[in-house]
Structure 1
Amino acid sequence: MLGAIAGDIIGSRFEHAPIQTVDFELFTDASCFTDDTVLTVAVADSIFNGTSYGNTLKNYFRRYPDAGYGGGFLKWGQSDASQPYNSWGNGSAMRVSPVGFAFGSSELVLLEAEKSAAVTHNHPEGIKGAQATALAVFLARSGSGKDALAEEIESRFGYDLHTPLDIRRRDHTFDISCQKTVPPALRAFLESTDFEDAVRKAVSLGGDSDTLACIAGAVAHAFYRHIPDAILDTVLDRLESPLRRVTTLFCNRYSCL
């Protein structure tokens, strides 16, 4: 999940100022965690402490109300109601990476990914995006090769993971749907040579850059099993203490440091 948080922070300053190059400074004063990080840590907290996904997400929203949530989640978080709002947005996918690290089989990962999504994103596409991302993380950390991982995700979810990034960049626009976020983010990982390269490639797509980099970073972290110290130290330094504490506890328990 640290890869997801790193991707979010690195991509944050490009969300409303997209670029289409891998040549950029990783961190500036404008690089900060967003709702992607807050809700990723919330899912990790829920798993770590055995609390409900819905209640924990709401608690984190109330602690960090200005993290940049989408409109649907914002209304849900502010409401006393707990019903999901049938979202197909990429929020279910950007927060799910802890599931891929914490559970020990594809079946459990798929089940928990659905649970974590369905408290808000109960639309079939919202659930599919979460499941595809969590399964990709699980397969990556379990030793799957890139070709086998891509084949499994494509056959199970019907996503196109073969279109190269050079082609995707031509018409990629800001799109918050799972179906237009998860496949290009996974393609960025598939074309990468290491963790940093995966994040840079995801950001270079333009569009919802923090979420693209969050998803690509999660899978790249699981696959390469290494985040450069310079990146890791900067990421941990930019997390507020409660977020850093939960992240560290989770990663120590599930060996994702």
Structure 2
Amino acid sequence: MLGAIAGDIAGSVYEWNNVKSKDIPLFTEKCFFTDDSVLTIALADTILSGTPYAENLKTFCDLYPNAGYGGRFLNWARSGNSEPYNSWGNGAAMRISPAGWAFDDLDTVLHKAEEFTAVTHNHPEGVKGGQAAGAAIFLARTGSSKEEIRRYIATQFGYDLSRHIDEIRPAYKFTEASQETVPQAVRAFLDATDYEDALRNAISLGGDSDTIACITGGIAEAFYGGVPAWIEAKVYAALDERLGAITRRFAARYSLSGS
């Protein structure tokens, strides 16, 4: 989960200022946490406390009203209605990383990813994106090779993972569609040499940079056994006391640590 938050923070300054290069400052003084981190940590709190996720999503949105939520989510969060709104966006995949860490078998991860995703994103593509991101994290943290992860995600979810990140980058444009974000985020991880390189791959695509890097970072953390200590320090410096405390509790419970 820490890796996902780091990706969000690193990508925050590039979402509306896209770059097509890996040669960038990964963290600057202008970096900040966005809705991706807030809602990821809301899920971590749900797993730790048992608070229903729909309730926590609304609570955390109230606590952090200016985090940059999508319009449909914001309308849902501020309404008295807790029914899902059939979204196929990438907003569920970017917040699902705690589910990939908290459960001990793949079937349970897939079930819980669907449950947590469908609170809002109950369109088949939304659910698929959440499940794919959660499954990739589970497989990465339990010893699967990159090829095994690629093959499972491509076969199980029908995503095209055949193109190298360098082939995707030139024509890739901003989109909030899950089916046009999750495969690219997975590929950014597959083509990386280490955790930091995975974030650079993700951000260099352009598009919805913080969300792509959030998804990529969650998988890369699981595969590489944590995040570098200097990146972990950047995360906790950016989070406020509440968000940092929940993240630390989740990390302690599920044995996440810097490398």
What TM-score results when the alignment is normalised by the length of structure 1? 0.99
Q: Distance in 2 between matches of 1:56 and 1:158?
A: 31
| SS of residue matched to 1:65 | coil
1:136 aligns with 2:136: yes
Aligned-pair CA distance for 1:226: 2.6
| Cα shift readout 1:114-152 (whole Å, capped 9, x = no counterpart) | 011111000000000000000000000000000001100
RMSD (Å), alpha carbons: 0.6
The 2-side partners of 1:166 and 1:223 are apart by 21
Amino acid at match of 1:12: S
1:220 corresponds in structure 2 to: 220
Q: Give the Cα separation in 1 of the matches to 2:101 and 2:138.
A: 6
- What is the deviation of 1:50? 1.2
Corresponding residue of 2:112: 112
CA distance in 2: counterparts of 1:93 and 1:37, whole angstroms: 12
Structure-to-structure mapping, 1:1-257, within 5 angstroms: 1-257=1-257
CA deviation profile, 1:146-200 (whole Å, cap 9, x unmatched): 0001100111000011211111112110000110000000000000011000000
- The 1-side partners of 2:45 and 2:237 are apart by 19
Amino acid aligned to 1:129: G
Q: Which amino acid aligns with 2:157?
A: F
Give the aligned residue type for 1:184. Q
Q: For residue 4 of structure 1, report the CA deviation from its aligned partner.
A: 0.2
What SS does the aligned partner of 1:234 have? Answer: helix
| Structure 2 unaligned blocks of 5 or more | none
Could you tell me the TM-score, scaled by structure 2's length?
0.98
Aligned to 2:12, what secondary structure does the other structure show?
helix
CA offsets 1:179-222 (integer angstroms, 9 cap, x no match): 00000000000000110000000000000000000000000000
Q: Which amino acid aligns with 1:253?
A: R
The answer on whether the counterparts of 2:18 and 2:209 sit within 8 Å (CA) in structure 1 is yes
* Number of equivalent positions: 257
Deviation at 1:251, TM superposition (A): 0.8
Displacement of 1:44 in angstroms is 0.5
SS at 2:148 equivalent: helix
- The 8 Å contact of residues 3 and 217 in structure 2, kept in 1 or not, is answered as yes
Determine helix, strand or coil for the equivalent of 2:69.
Answer: coil
Structure 1: gaps of 5 or more residues: none
Q: Match of 1:88, SS?
A: coil
Give the Cα–Cα distance (whole angstroms) in 2 for the partners of residues 106 and 231 of structure 1: 28
Aligned identity (percent) is 53
- Provide runs of 4+ in structure 1 moved above 2 Å: none
Deviations 1:14-61 (A, max 9, x none): 000000100111111210000000000000000111121111111111
